[in-house]
Amino acid sequence: MDSPRGRLYLMRAAGEGRIGLTQNFVTHMDRCLGCRACETACPAGVPFGRLLEEVRAQIERRVPRPLSRKLLGRLILGVFPVRGRLAALLVLTRVYQGSGLQRLVRRTGVLRAFPRLRAMEALLPSGAGGAASDILREVVPHAPSRGRVAVLTGCVQALLFPEVNRATVALLARSGFHVLIPEGQGCCGALHLHWGDRETGRRLARRNVEALGSADWIVTNAAGCGAAMREYGHLLREERAAAFAGRVRDVTELLAEHLPEPRHPVPVTVTYHEPCHLAHGQRVREAPRRVLGAIPGLRLVELPESDLCCGSAGVYNLTEPEIAEQLLARKVERIEGTGAEIVVTGNPGCLLQLRKGLHARGLRLEARHPVELLLRSVEGSGR
């Protein structure tokens, strides 16, 4: 059973609950990135991402887990996808960073005994957010309407990267779309599905189909969210959900087809890291590059191994921090070698992971979302 076909059989059987789950098998499933690069490589188009989520659901139901992992799961699934709880956590984070407690904790070395806690602490951005940006619920297009788009504002994106949401809405309106930010939307369910909590994932999916489903396009600026929403048809087994999934688009896909004007020079050198769930999960590779290539003055340098995972992979950098650090070190080394001033990527998890790695290496590089640079060009704000 060590052949690819044998491993595929085991995953299907495990996902359907037809075989026992040995500790060795569980360890392999836990250490899988879920990056879905195997889907890109597989000539038969086997949906390994779906299989992995189904297997992990069986593991969480049937296999006793260590207390530390259970507590980590409760923290991640109980806080990160709930905007109010995440905002409260970020307020506490600011107190932790600004009071001197962070420096004290790091000096004591206590975090070395808890690798997962240390990984989470290292990801905390300086001056962490805490308040989602105020975005209008409806934005009239700047040109004759190309259709109605509903924007998923997200959880982490809304609180840690509100500038990405603001740029998304502004650019879509300038490109001629009637932009809606519907009330009632919520977490896409990606973190729950990665963890194996499919029931909560289904509940969140139904909520979003109801809230966002009336628009011509459902737009996301987070690769992980987009990949999860494109799977709603399979997850819910409903015709309406399948139709919804077929209308999900990454923001760069629409902007690449309908670039806003005018565009002013942004004289910077950038390189592009492909988020796994955009390149492999959604098969969106050229649109972000076309958006960047359309910015006057911007020099795009190709990143070696651009689609190799940075180690974020949903919550992989928290569950398997040692392996994630190795991947991050390799990614940062490749970025440094390009000579770029900015590394661009389209996923909040990747942005957090890359900023952590760049800071740890002492590099003065920015990590930004493609829409931020395009908005700089449209608004004429240069660098």
Residue listed under structure tokens 């932790």? 96
Q: Among 52-66, 123-137, 328-342, where is mean pLDDT lowest? A: 123-137
Please say whether the beta carbons of 227 and 281 come within 8 A: yes
DSSP H helix total and E strand total for the chain: 22, 9
Task: State the SS3 of 340-361.
Answer: CCEEECCCHHHHHHHHHHHHHC
Condensed to tens digits (0 to 9), the pLDDT of residues 137-185 reads 677 777 778 999 999 999 889 889 999 999 999 999 999 999 999 989 9
Is the predicted pLDDT of residue 88 greater than 60, yes or no? yes
CA trace torsion 286, 291, 294, 297 (10° rounding) = -110
Within a 10 A sphere around the Cβ of 382, how many other Cβ atoms? 12
Q: Are 354 and 273 in contact (CB under 8 A)?
A: yes
Half-sphere exposure in the Cβ direction for 184 (13 Å, CA): 14
**What's the pLDDT tens digit per position in 330-375?**
999 999 999 999 999 999 999 999 999 999 999 999 999 999 999 9
pLDDT beyond 90 at 193:
yes
Question: What pLDDT was estimated at residue 338?
Answer: 97
pLDDT for 166 equals 94
Tell whether omega for the bond before 262 is within 30 degrees of 0, i.e. cis: yes
Position 60 pLDDT exceeds 80? yes
- The CA-atom distances, in angstroms, between 204 and each of 112, 216, 332 are 36, 21, 34
Q: What is the dihedral of CA 54, 55, 61, 63, to 10 degrees?
A: -170
Q: Tell how strand 148-151 and strand 178-180 pair up.
A: parallel
Task: Indicate the pLDDT class of residue 270, thresholds 50, 70 and 90.
Answer: very high
Q: For residues 99-120, give the mean pLDDT.
A: 74
pLDDT in tens, 231-266: 999 999 999 999 999 999 999 999 999 999 889 999
pTM for the model: 0.90
- Compare 1 and 124 and report the one with higher pLDDT: 124
Strands 178-180 and 138-139: what pairing? antiparallel
Lowest mean pLDDT among 2-6, 75-79, 220-224, 328-332: 2-6
Amino acid 2: pLDDT = 55
What is residue 20's predicted lDDT score, i.e. its pLDDT? 78
